[in-house]
């Protein structure tokens, strides 16, 4: 099926006869493959008698060489997959198989993409960026403090460089445009965090997606915001360069050196929020984050600090 898709990627009409000849199959076999493409990859295909078949929009596939040309200063090997369960899961498998960090895993499609708190991350084929960077961490917990927030800053700047001016951060792991989610971050760790470990920086960015009925929250994409398709190879290169720059700052000065910058870009700074922790709800006003990246809330006139992977922040109606 992917061979057929690559023949159609230019968005132009191709006759069933020509497609069959290129694939070495009958026109009826081409028709069956087209039906599978639509059903399995959720890619609309236009069919016009006398002209043939074309994709609703051209596709640009991820390409390691193009990514490297756009980020020549990076020496991160890039592994690209057509379809895998999730880039984070593949990254963890590669760590287990002995692959040397740093390296990047990308996929055109995820069949079991994951967000925070076990949520599904919707991953249509060749429309978005599903990205995992693996780092080897030596020297203890300080290098992990506020790391997901640092990744958020890198994503934010890559989006802004690509024309999404209204992007802002939401503690701890989201990037929003207005109240709509455009990117999410999921960090996973393997090994001893007090000694030597590996951390997987998983990033999902809605790039050219224009509809997704499966998503259970407000969302947007770069194309919806900018009004035109975005070259995902250029975006991945920009993202890599921003990650390298921010990770270098974090390594040199810890999250404390980026605390002010992060707060300047926090969408909910000074807002009334509810912090959900399991069955408990804490209402307060966002004061910012501390030097380790934990959330600072004014709760009834008292400043309190919250951190942890299972916390969820929601905007209150009175904000």
The reported pTM is 0.91
Cβ pair 214, 121 in contact under 8 A: no
Sequential pLDDT tens for the chain (319 residues): 678 988 998 889 999 999 999 999 998 999 999 988 887 777 778 989 889 999 888 888 999 999 999 999 998 999 999 999 999 999 999 999 999 999 999 999 998 876 554 555 567 889 999 999 999 998 777 789 999 999 999 999 999 999 998 999 999 999 999 999 999 999 999 998 888 899 999 999 999 988 766 666 789 999 999 999 999 999 999 999 999 999 999 999 999 999 999 999 999 999 999 999 888 999 999 999 999 999 999 999 999 999 976 788 999 975 5
Q: Is 99 annotated as a binding residue?
A: no
Specify the pairing of strand 103-110 against strand 78-84.
parallel
Task: Specify whether 34 is located in the same domain as 131.
Answer: no
Task: Specify whether 210 is located in the same domain as 306.
Answer: no
What CATH number is attached to the domain comprising 68? Answer: 3.30.930.10
Q: What is the pLDDT of residue 214?
A: 64
Q: Is 111 annotated as a binding residue?
A: no
- Segment (H or E) for 276: strand 272-277
Q: Is 86 annotated as a binding residue?
A: yes
CA distances (Å), origin 242, targets 15, 38, 64, 175: 43, 35, 18, 15
Q: What are phi and psi of 68, to 5 degrees?
A: -65, -40
Cβ pair 175, 156 in contact under 8 A: yes
Domain C-terminal end among 247, 263, 279: 263
Task: Specify whether 71 is located in the same domain as 48.
Answer: no
Q: What are phi and psi of 209, to 5 degrees?
A: -65, 135
Q: Is 93 annotated as a binding residue?
A: no
Cβ pair 118, 194 in contact under 8 A: no
- Residues 6 or more apart whose CB falls under 8 angstroms from that of 312 comprise 117, 275, 276, 277
Cβ pair 218, 51 in contact under 8 A: no
Q: What is the pLDDT of residue 123?
A: 75
Please give the radius of gyration of the chain, using alpha carbons only, rounded to the nearest integer.
21
Q: What are phi and psi of 166, to 5 degrees?
A: -90, 10
Task: Specify whether 105 is located in the same domain as 198.
Answer: yes
Q: Is 181 annotated as a binding residue?
A: yes
Q: What is the pLDDT of residue 179?
A: 92
Q: What is the pLDDT of residue 115?
A: 56
Task: Specify whether 130 is located in the same domain as 216.
Answer: yes
Task: Specify whether 136 is located in the same domain as 198.
Answer: yes
Cβ pair 223, 211 in contact under 8 A: no
Domain range holding 150? 64-263
What CATH number is attached to the domain comprising 45? Answer: 1.10.10.10
Q: Which residue has the tokens 């390594």?
A: 251
Q: Is 115 annotated as a binding residue?
A: yes
Kindly report the length of the chain: 319
Cβ pair 185, 198 in contact under 8 A: no
- The first and second tokens of residue 271, run together, are 């807002």
Task: Specify whether 293 is located in the same domain as 164.
Answer: no
Task: Specify whether 112 is located in the same domain as 243.
Answer: yes
Q: How far apart are CA 198 and CA 90, in angstroms?
A: 14
Q: How far apart are CA 67 and CA 88, in angstroms?
A: 19
Q: Which residue has the tokens 């460089």?
A: 161
Q: Is 110 annotated as a binding residue?
A: yes
Task: Specify whether 34 is located in the same domain as 139.
Answer: no
Task: Specify whether 103 is located in the same domain as 178.
Answer: yes
Domain C-terminal end among 15, 34, 55: 55
Q: Tell me the angle at which helices 27-41 and 16-23 cross, rounded to the nearest 10 degrees.
A: 90
Other beta carbons within 10 Å of 263: 18
- The first and second tokens of residue 47, run together, are 């069919």
Q: What is the pLDDT of residue 202?
A: 97
Other beta carbons within 10 Å of 302: 8
Q: What is the pLDDT of residue 114?
A: 66
Q: What is the pLDDT of residue 37?
A: 82
Specify the pairing of strand 180-191 against strand 103-110.
unpaired
Q: Which residues carry out catalysis? A: 116, 181, 314
Q: What is the pLDDT of residue 308?
A: 76
The total domain count for the chain is: 3
Q: Is 88 annotated as a binding residue?
A: yes
Task: Specify whether 29 is located in the same domain as 50.
Answer: yes
Q: What is the pLDDT of residue 264?
A: 97
Q: How far apart are CA 184 and CA 126, in angstroms?
A: 18
Task: Specify whether 45 is located in the same domain as 156.
Answer: no
Phi-psi category of residue 123: left, alpha or beta, with phi > 0 → left and psi -120 to 50 → alpha: beta
Instruction: Dihedral sign for Cα 180, 254, 92, 75, please.
Output: positive
- Three-state DSSP at 208 gives coil
Q: Which residue has the tokens 């369960």?
A: 85
What CATH number is attached to the domain comprising 283? Answer: 2.30.30.100
């Amino acid at each position: 099926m992917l061979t057929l898709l690559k023949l159609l990627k230019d968005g132009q009409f191709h006759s069933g006869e020509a497609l069959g000849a290129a694939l070495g199959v009958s026109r009826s076999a081409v028709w069956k493959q087209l039906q599978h493409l639509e059903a399995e990859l959720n890619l609309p295909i236009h069919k016009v008698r006398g002209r043939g078949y074309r994709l609703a929009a051209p596709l640009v596939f991820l390409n390691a060489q193009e990514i490297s040309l756009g980020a020549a200063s990076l020496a991160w090997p890039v592994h690209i997959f057509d379809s895998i369960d999730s880039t984070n899961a593949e990254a963890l498998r590669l760590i287990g198989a002995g692959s040397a960090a740093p390296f990047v895993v990308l996929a055109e499609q995820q069949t079991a993409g994951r967000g925070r708190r076990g949520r599904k991350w919707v991953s249509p084929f060749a429309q978005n960026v599903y990205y995992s960077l693996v780092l080897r961490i030596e020297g203890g917990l300080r290098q992990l403090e506020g790391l997901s927030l640092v990744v958020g800053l890198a994503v934010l700047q890559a989006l802004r460089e690509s024309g999404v001016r209204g992007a802002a951060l939401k503690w701890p792991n989201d990037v929003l445009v207005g109240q709509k989610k455009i990117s999410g971050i999921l960090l996973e760790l393997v090994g001893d965090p007090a000694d030597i470990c590996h951390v997987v920086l998983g990033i999902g960015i809605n790039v050219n997606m224009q509809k997704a009925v499966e998503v259970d929250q407000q969302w947007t994409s770069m194309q919806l915001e900018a009004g035109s398709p975005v070259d995902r190879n250029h975006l991945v290169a920009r993202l890599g360069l921003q990650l390298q720059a921010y990770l270098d700052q974090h390594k040199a000065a810890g999250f404390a050196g980026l605390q002010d910058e992060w707060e300047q870009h926090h969408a909910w700074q000074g807002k009334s929020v509810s912090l959900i922790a399991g069955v408990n709800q804490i209402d307060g006003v966002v004061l910012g984050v501390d030097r380790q990246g934990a959330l600072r809330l004014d709760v009834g006139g008292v400043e309190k600090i919250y951190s942890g992977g299972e916390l969820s922040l929601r905007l209150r109606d009175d904000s």
